[in-house]
Amino acid sequence: MFAAYHKHSPKQRLRLDGAFVRAQPAHLLATFFGSGLLRPASGTWGTLAGLFVYLVLSPFLGPWFWLALCFLTFFLGAWACEVAGRNCGVHDHGSFVIDEVFAIWLVLLVTPESFTWQLAAFAAFRFFDIVKLPPASFCDREMRNGYGVMLDDAFAALYAIALIRACVWLVG
C-alpha cells in the first residue's frame, strides 16, 4: 500500500527541478506551478496549494465556477500528467500534484464553509489519497496514464466527500 512512498520508488528517486517545470506548459500544470517540487510529502504540499487557491478565490467565485473548473482541471490534468510522465519517464511522479489540486477542490465544493470543516476535508482527502481504497488502488496500479493519475484521486475525493457529508449529517 505504501510502496510509492518508499525512498527507492521511481516516484521518489527521480528529482524534478525548476528547469523541468519551466520546460513546457504540461510540466507547469502537472506540478501545479512547481508546488509539487516541495519535499517531503509533495502530495500534501499540492493539496495545501489547492486548498489555498480555493480559500482565496471562493469568496469571489460560485459553486458553478468551481464545478466547471474541476471538470476542466480533470481533463487538462490528465493531459499534463500524460505528457510530463512521458517526458520524465515516470507515469505518476510524486511531483505531479494537479490530481490532488483537482480532488481537494471537488471535496471543498461540497464541504461547509468553515475553516474547521475545510481542515477536516483536507485531512479526510489526504487519508483516502494515501490508503487508496478500491477502485482508487486499481486506477493507481493498473491505469498507467494521465487518466489513471487523475482518477485515483477522484475516487479518494469521493470517499472524503462521503465521510465529510456523513459527519455533517451526524453533527447537524
Q: Assess whether pLDDT exceeds 60 at residue 11.
A: no
Sign for the pseudo-dihedral over CA of 161, 167, 169, 172: negative
Spatial contact of 162 and 168, defined as CB atoms under 8 Å apart: no
Residue 43 has pLDDT above 60, yes or no: yes
How much is the pTM?
0.91
Decide if pLDDT at 167 tops 90.
Answer: yes
Q: Is the pLDDT of residue 66 over 70?
A: yes
8 Å CB contact between 36 and 95: yes
pLDDT averaged over the chain? 93
Map out the domains of the chain as residue ranges: 3-171
User: Given this model, what pLDDT does residue 123 score?
Assistant: 98
* Confidence band for 172, pLDDT divided at 50, 70 and 90: confident
Asked if residue 107 lies in contact with residue 125, where contact means CB atoms within 8 angstroms, the answer is: yes
